[in-house]
């Protein structure tokens, strides 16, 4: 027995202890588990080297705040406000505990925020993480929250104006990549000032603009018939072509002294909460474009390329095949004739229609 113990002792001394496992990335899906899994994981693996954390559905923001201290080296945080644990006191406010939880993380390099509503909430988050950010993504959310006696439908995102964007640029001096929702207003001076303000991001290299074309304020319901004047504004806001995409590019790039911006993608959105007939036509009009600064065939002139053109054509051929589904209703024909007079002889929703130019005050 003594010999066996000695052999075991010698083996134990000679054997190097196994290192504690460490993780680089954790993703928590919508179906769970929830944030408390992070606290439990900390007991069995080393989380100090975690670089990326994704939470698709916030469930317990108080636990998330406690867990933030477990990730001293976290660089990327992806978080959505979809979960039932994210409370909204009002239609345009966010969960204070959730905001505090995001602020509890060490300064981040990349941040993805989905479904946030308030500019004030965004400012609180940026106050903490803005100076270190290299990438920021802010995307809308459409999922309604269950709030007793109150509707919560519509796209949720912080509606920034030119001043807000300028302040965001000051707070994020190292930002290189940005995705931002902007609410269109028929190319008005106010809208143009927002594009110009984007030029204040001196280090910005890549920009994606989600352009919201539905002017209605939340809550927004899916109704059978949208008011004519609202529908006209929606069509003006939604219609995108190469000329308008280039106008947006020039407004932004002309105000960026560093000329660092290389890529701009414009993505119209807002089809939710609209009738089917309008949705079919708007889906055809609201095209997405990618503008790239360098053009090897014509130096000094940006290249413009439509994104998803072939996919859009296939989708329409599959969904709207047949003469009964490929014509414009009488009501829509009146709307289109008011927006683009005179109405073309071709009464098809596939007729190519021009976008409306921007109206900058220095034009």
Domain ranges of the chain: 21-106, 128-156+163-362
Say whether pLDDT at 166 is over 60.
yes
Pairing of strands 135-139, 110-114: parallel
Over residues 100-117, the mean pLDDT reads 95
For range 239-258, the mean pLDDT: 96
Q: What is the pLDDT of residue 50?
A: 94
What's the rounded mean pLDDT across residues 275-287?
A: 89
Over 70: is that where the pLDDT of 19 sits?
Answer: no
pLDDT-derived band of residue 148, with 50, 70 and 90 as boundaries? very low
What confidence score (pLDDT) does residue 217 get?
A: 87
Does position 271 have pLDDT exceeding 50, yes or no? yes
What is the 8-class DSSP label of residue 80? E
Average pLDDT over residues 309-322: 76
- Report the relative pairing of strands 25-28 and 52-55 from DSSP bridges: parallel
| Backbone angles phi and psi of 352, in degrees to 5 | -75, 130
Chain segment 189-221, per-residue pLDDT in tens: 999 999 999 999 999 999 999 999 999 987 787
d(CA 301, CA 250): 11
Dihedral of alpha carbons 269, 272, 273, 275, sign? positive
Statement: residue 31 has pLDDT above 80 = no
Contacts of 196 (CB under 8 A, 6+ apart): 162, 251, 252, 254, 255, 360
Lowest model confidence (mean pLDDT) among 128-132, 234-238, 271-275: 271-275
Q: Nearest to residue 86, comparing CAs of 117, 109, 110?
A: 117
Residue ranges of the alpha helices (H) in 70-146? 96-103, 119-129
Confidence band for 360, pLDDT divided at 50, 70 and 90: confident
What integer pLDDT is reported at residue 141 of this predicted model?
87
In this prediction, residues 227-248 reach a mean pLDDT of 96
Query: Between residues 74 and 143, which one has the greater pLDDT?
Result: 74
Among the listed ranges 222-236, 268-282, 344-358, which one has the minimum average pLDDT value? Answer: 344-358
pLDDT for 17 beyond 60? no
Cα 180 to Cα 232: distance, rounded to the nearest angstrom: 25
Identify the pLDDT of residue 33. Answer: 78
Could you give the CA distance from residue 216 to residue 272 in angstroms, rounded to a whole number? 12
| Most confident segment among 111-120, 132-141, 333-342 | 132-141
Predicted local distance difference test score (pLDDT) of residue 204: 98
Check whether 107 has a pLDDT greater than 80.
yes
Average pLDDT of every residue of the chain: 86
Residue 316: Cβ within 10 Å count? 17
Give the model's pLDDT for residue 149: 43
Q: Write out pLDDT tens, residues 187-196.
A: 999 999 999 9
Residues 35/28, Cβ–Cβ less than 8 Å: yes
Tokens of 198: 């984007």
Q: Determine how many CB atoms are found less than 10 A away from the CB of residue 9.
A: 10
Q: Which of 282, 271, 278 is nearest to 154 (CA)?
A: 271
Judged against a pLDDT cut of 80, whether residue 345 lies above it is answered with no
State residue 12's pLDDT score.
Answer: 59
Q: Identify which has the larger pLDDT, 240 or 330.
A: 240
256 band by pLDDT with thresholds 50, 70 and 90: very high
Residue 236 above 90 pLDDT? yes
Q: From CA 252, how far away is CA 209, in angstroms rounded?
A: 11
Residue 349: its pLDDT value, please? 52
317 alpha-carbon distance from chain centroid: 28
**Of all residues in the chain, what percent carry a pLDDT higher than 90?**
54
pLDDT at 323 over 80: no
Tell which wins on pLDDT, 346 or 134.
134
Q: Of 84, 87, 82, 83, which is closest to residue 99 (Cα–Cα)? A: 87
CA distance 231 to 219: 17
């Amino acid at each position: 027995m003594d010999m066996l113990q000695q052999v075991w002792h010698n083996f134990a001394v000679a054997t190097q202890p196994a290192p504690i496992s460490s993780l680089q990335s954790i993703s928590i899906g919508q179906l769970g588990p929830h944030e408390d899994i992070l606290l439990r994981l900390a007991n069995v693996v080393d989380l100090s080297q975690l670089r990326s954390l994704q939470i698709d559905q916030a469930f317990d923001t108080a636990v998330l705040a406690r867990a933030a201290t477990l990730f001293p080296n976290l660089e990327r945080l992806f978080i959505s406000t979809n979960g039932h644990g994210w409370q909204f006191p009002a239609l345009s406010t966010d969960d204070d505990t959730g905001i505090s939880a995001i602020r509890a993380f060490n300064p981040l390099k990349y941040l993805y925020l989905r479904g946030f509503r308030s500019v004030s909430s965004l400012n609180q988050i940026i106050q903490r993480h803005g100076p270190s950010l290299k990438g920021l993504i802010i995307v809308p959310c459409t999922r309604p929250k269950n709030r007793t006696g109150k509707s919560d439908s519509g796209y949720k995102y912080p509606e920034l104006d030119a001043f807000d964007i300028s302040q965001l640029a000051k707070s994020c001096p190292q930002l290189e990549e940005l995705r931002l929702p902007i609410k269109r207003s028929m190319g008005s001076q106010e809208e143009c000032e927002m594009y110009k303000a984007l030029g204040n991001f001196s280090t910005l290299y890549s920009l994606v603009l989600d352009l919201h074309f539905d002017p209605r304020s939340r809550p927004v319901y899916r109704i059978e018939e949208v008011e004519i004047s609202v529908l006209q504004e929606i069509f003006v806001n939604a219609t995108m072509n190469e000329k308008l995409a280039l106008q947006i590019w020039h407004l932004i790039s002309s105000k960026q002294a560093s000329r660092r911006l290389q890529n701009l993608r414009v993505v119209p959105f807002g089809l939710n909460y609209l009738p089917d007939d309008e949705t079919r036509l708007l889906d055809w009009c609201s095209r997405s474009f990618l503008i790239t600064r360098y053009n090897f065939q014509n130096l000094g002139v940006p290249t413009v390329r439509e994104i998803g053109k072939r996919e859009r054509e296939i989708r329409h051929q599959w969904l709207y095949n047949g003469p009964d589904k490929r014509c414009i209703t009488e009501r829509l024909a009146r709307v289109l004739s008011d927006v683009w007079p005179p109405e073309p002889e071709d009464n098809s929703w596939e007729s190519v229609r021009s976008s409306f130019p921007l109206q900058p005050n220095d034009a």
